[in-house]
Amino acid sequence: MTLGLSLGVVVGYLVIALAVGLVAYRVSETTAEDYYLANRSIGTAVLLFTTFATLLSAFTFFGGPNLAFAAGPEWLIVMGTLDGVLFAVLWYAIGYKQWLIGDRHGYVTLGEMLGDRFGSTGLRALVAAVSLLWLFPYVMLQQMGAGEALVGLTGGAVPYWGGAALVTAFMILYVVLAGMRGVAWTDTIQGLFMLSVVWIAAVWIVSAVGGVGAATDAMLDARPEFGSFGGGLYSPGFIISTAITIAFGVTMFPQINQRFFVADSGETLKRSFALWPVLVLLLFVPAFMLGAWAAGMPVDVPDGANVLPVVLNEYTPAWFAALVVAGAMAAMMSSSDSMLLSGSSYFTRDVYRPLINAEASERREAWLARIGVAAFALAAFAASLFRPGTLIEVGDTAFSGFALLALPVICALYWPRTTRSGMIAGVLIPQVAYLAVVLSAVVSAVPTLPRTVAGGWDVALGLMALSALLTVGVSLVTAPTPESDASRFTVAGD
């Protein structure tokens, strides 16, 4: 198959997704709530797959196999445990209560919900600002992954910037038209597609190298340390820190957190998080094991390249490799379109409307959101051209930033004594400290600060503890403001 046909597979996939988005656009209403939340009408299958496809991104599809190739298959345990089990628990603890509160009061964003509870426009804007800050590198991560994917598929014929530009242009066009309904529909198709192709790829490649036993033996011959737990990268500090920061961070991702509002019923939400662990493991097992098995295969993975396209090009025909890369790009786009949609809602609902134009009509807000999508995507594309780190490094930075929001939010949801001052201190101070740590690695004017302490423990884990201590401690020594209303979070579920 020629290069043109391989690219045709990828572009054809994009066109099909766009057609679905156009259908969604035709049946959508021109209101902000329909654009952001599909009028809270999402059922179990679509909610499950849209969350699945939204969460799984370049970080999972390329970063995960890359890490398994370099450090061994224990990445499967880290991600399988935290995404399959811990996130499902947090989905219940945070997501179900958010759905009950959002269903009663009509909230669209996390900042709107907290701002109303504590009677604070400042808190609402602070949560939006923090969310947009960490959303930016994660959108950039998807564009970096798309650029690298097409370089791998085409052997460099399509440059890195070309792949990143292609997915950026598609995302802008798609999200501006489709809104949440179109995003959720295509997420469902993309989730099923990526799950199917990765399993076919695993069976195809493993069969080509002689079966699971032969692939595992070759891996252990090349990297004997892959056969035992612990050691190297996988220290207790790394595993526990990564598991906690990613799982808690995921719940605060705007594109994930906003899905806690879109279910058509509480039963839909419950069925979705109960099925979540099964769905996650069905994708992680073949994807990450392909990365680990590749360590024993006679393939040459250039520095900085993604291992999955290299293995596919070696053991499968070009048309199938193109299909898998299309599946990976589907993972990136299904994350990015939701990020752009949520990011625009955080800006319009929590910054523009309360601080700039409180009288804006719903129609004006919906169109402003579309402009915001384009501006955010183009800015992230420009930043992605500088390639500021690996997929894992960029993704981990964003996960930890969002994780610092989680414990103050849990306090607000479950502890009526929480005050506005406690929330602001618990959110703001750890974020400033973490931002200083991140900047110290890339800005020479900032003194170098450690990302890990005491033998590999992520500094973000300590800052999470600090966020909880500040929220509780400051709340105990301050009085609730007259504008606060704890009863707004008093809801009954089963």
| Cβ neighbour number for residue 131 with a 10 Å cutoff | 26
What is the distance between the alpha carbons of residues 58 and 71, in angstroms, rounded to a whole number? Answer: 18
DSSP state of 359: T
Q: pLDDT, tens digit, for every residue of 232-291? A: 778 888 888 888 888 899 899 888 898 888 888 888 888 888 888 888 888 888 988 999
Q: How far apart are the first and last CA of the chain?
A: 56
Q: What is the DSSP string of 438-479?
A: HHHHH-TTSPP--SEETTTEEHHHHHHHHHHHHHHHHHHHSP
Cβ–Cβ under 8 Å, residues 55 and 256:
yes
From the CB of residue 446, how many other CB atoms can be counted at a distance below 10 Å? 14
Measured distance CA(24)–CA(19) in Å, rounded: 9
pLDDT (0 to 100) of residue 493: 63
Identify the pLDDT of residue 2: 58
Paired tokens of 450: 């450690």
Q: Is the dihedral of CA 4, 308, 385, 432 positive or negative?
A: positive
Q: Is 155 exposed, middle or buried (0-12, 13-18, 19+ CB in 10 A)?
A: exposed
Q: Which of 304, 130, 158, 293 is nearest to 217 (CA)?
A: 293
Q: Show the tokens assigned to 376.
A: 């955010």
Cα–Cα distance for residue pair 313/161, rounded to 1 Å: 21
pLDDT under 70: residue ranges of the chain: 1-3, 5-6, 28-30, 57-59, 178, 330-331, 334, 387-395, 493-494
280: left (phi over 0), alpha (psi -120 to 50) or beta: alpha
Mind listing the pLDDT tens digit for each residue in 58-86? 667 777 888 899 888 887 777 777 777 88
pLDDT of residue 443: 73
* pLDDT in the model for residue 331: 67
172 token code pair? 């802008």
Whole-number pLDDT of residue 235: 83
Q: Which amino acid is at 80?
A: G
Query: Which residues, including other chains, have CB under 8 Å from residue 89's CB and lie 6 or more apart?
Result: none
Q: Say how far apart CA 105 and CA 492 lie, in whole Å.
A: 14
CA angle, 390 then 289 then 389, to 5°: 0
**Residue 268: C-alpha distances to residues 42, 110, 185, 264, 492 (Å):** 8, 20, 16, 7, 17
CA 254 from chain centre, in angstroms, equals 9
d(CA 265, CA 252): 21
Rounded CA-CA distance 35/300 in Å is 46
For residues 430 and 438, the answer to whether their CB atoms sit within 8 Å is no
Residue type, position 285, single letter: V
Q: What is the pLDDT of residue 144?
A: 81
H/E stretch holding 342: helix 318-347
